[in-house]
Amino acid sequence: MNLSFFIAKRYLISKKSNNAINVISWISIVAIALTTAALIIVLSAMNGLTNVVADLYHAIEPDLKITAVNSKYMSNKDELTKKIKSISGINGISYSIEENALMKLDERQAIITVKGVDEEFKNLTHFDTVVTEGTYRFKYDNQFYGVFGRGVAGRLGININDFVSPISIYAPIRGKTEGINPEDAFNKLSISPAGIFSLNDDFDFKYVLIDLEAAQQLFDCKDAFSIIELSIEDKDQLASIQAKLQMELGNEYQIKNRYQLNDVLFKTLETEKLWTFLILAFILVIATFNIIGALTMLIIEKKKDIKTLYNLGADQKFIRNIFMQEGFLITFVGAFTGLIIGLIICILQQQFHLVTFDDQSVIAYYPIDLQLKDFIWILAVVMGIGFLAALYPVRVFTKNDLVHLQD
């Protein structure tokens, strides 16, 4: 064992003549442990929240979304399908239409976004998992149905269990001007409500999903579509497949992944995680001030030991290493203890759901996602702060003591 490390360990666990040094040292360890545990818990919770948001958006957003750059609709389905299928790693293709329209029920009306989807959409997104009332159905016995966002259903007064009047959707006929009867300038589609979905306000107050064929009739675009949605087998290959698709299809098409489609949301979550980390790191800096006090008092108390070591031939570097390693031990014991405490609490939350939400929440309990990189970063930051906290008293006070000894 390294001699300086052995002496540092003895200083840490041995009883000092001034009991305050022991107290301050253990306060330092406890403060570092608690702050480190808080970092692990909060960052793991933020990771879990990000994953939950991503999963929620997965219900309506695909892994990849393709749109035409210079036109609203695409009609070359066979050609595009052939090119897309030439890229390995794609396990699902869905074609859809998104357009704004006017929806009317009796005297109530609302501007909504109609999304016409094909049969493959359900397999791509698992949208049926967010249908909270009714069922996921768009066509039955020559009748078109729709799945309504909870907000849209509320504005129109739609009740799945007690519904009589048909719902009308109006969309302008392309190239036709308004005549004597304003309704002549609009295509009209009548649907019945099949279900209500609940995702978040951005979708719930905006979207109504209908059959792709019905949407093509409504928007007067037979055999055309405005969006191609894809699912990927291996999510780790998402960026690679996206780049290959862009090369295959060319610049006439724009390809975005789920995170780019919701760029602001995910950047906000990452920013919140960063600021949380910085705030807790600042608290950690304050906690490490105890290390400065403990080492300063220890160096003062061990003046006789320093003199003895100096007389035995120890140089300045050796003596400084003793107290630097004392600071390292205090920091490491606190950091390691904090990592273990944080890990245990996170595992308990994962297994037993200690922190829960009310019945109105989208998720039942606070999600946790433990990531190795967080542990590495936190340990590195804590040890770095501990090193800097130990550096000042060691350099200043050992230098003063050695100057006096040389005199």
Per residue in 17-61, pLDDT tens? 667 778 888 899 999 999 999 999 999 999 998 888 887 777 778
pLDDT in tens, 293-344: 888 888 888 888 877 887 787 888 888 888 899 999 999 999 999 999 999 9
**Which pLDDT score is estimated for 200?**
84
Structure pTM?
0.78
Which pLDDT belongs to residue 136? Answer: 94
Weakest mean pLDDT among 9-18, 80-89, 227-236, 284-293:
9-18
Task: Report, as an integer, the average pLDDT of 129-142.
Answer: 91
- Distances in Å between the alpha carbon of 41 and those of 82, 320, 333, 379? 47, 35, 18, 14
Which carries the bigger pLDDT value, residue 71 or residue 162?
71
Percent share of the chain, pLDDT over 90? 57
The share of the chain scoring above pLDDT 70, in percent, equals: 92
Q: How confident is the model at residue 305, as a pLDDT? A: 82
Q: What's the confidence (pLDDT) of residue 191?
A: 94
Could you tell me which residue, 299 or 385, shows the higher pLDDT?
385
What letters, b where the CB count within 10 A reaches 16 and e where it falls short, cover 223-261?
Answer: ebbbbbbbbbeeeeebeebbebbeeebeeebebbbbeee
- For residues 192 and 146, the answer to whether their CB atoms sit within 8 Å is yes
The length of the chain in residues reads 407
Average pLDDT value for residue range 347-361: 87
Rounded distance between C-alpha atoms, residue 21 and residue 194, angstroms: 72
Whether 403 has a pLDDT exceeding 70, the answer reads no
On average, the pLDDT of the chain sits at 88
Q: Count the Cβ atoms, other than its own, within 10 Å of residue 9.
A: 15
Q: Which helix (H) or strand (E) holds 197?
A: strand 186-197
Instruction: Decide: helix, strand or coil at residue 169.
Output: strand
The better pLDDT of the pair 184, 148 is held by 148
pLDDT at 221 over 50: yes
Model pLDDT, residue 334: 95
Q: Residue 178: pLDDT band by 50, 70, 90 thresholds?
A: low
**Cα angle 53-261-104, degrees, rounded to a multiple of 5:** 85
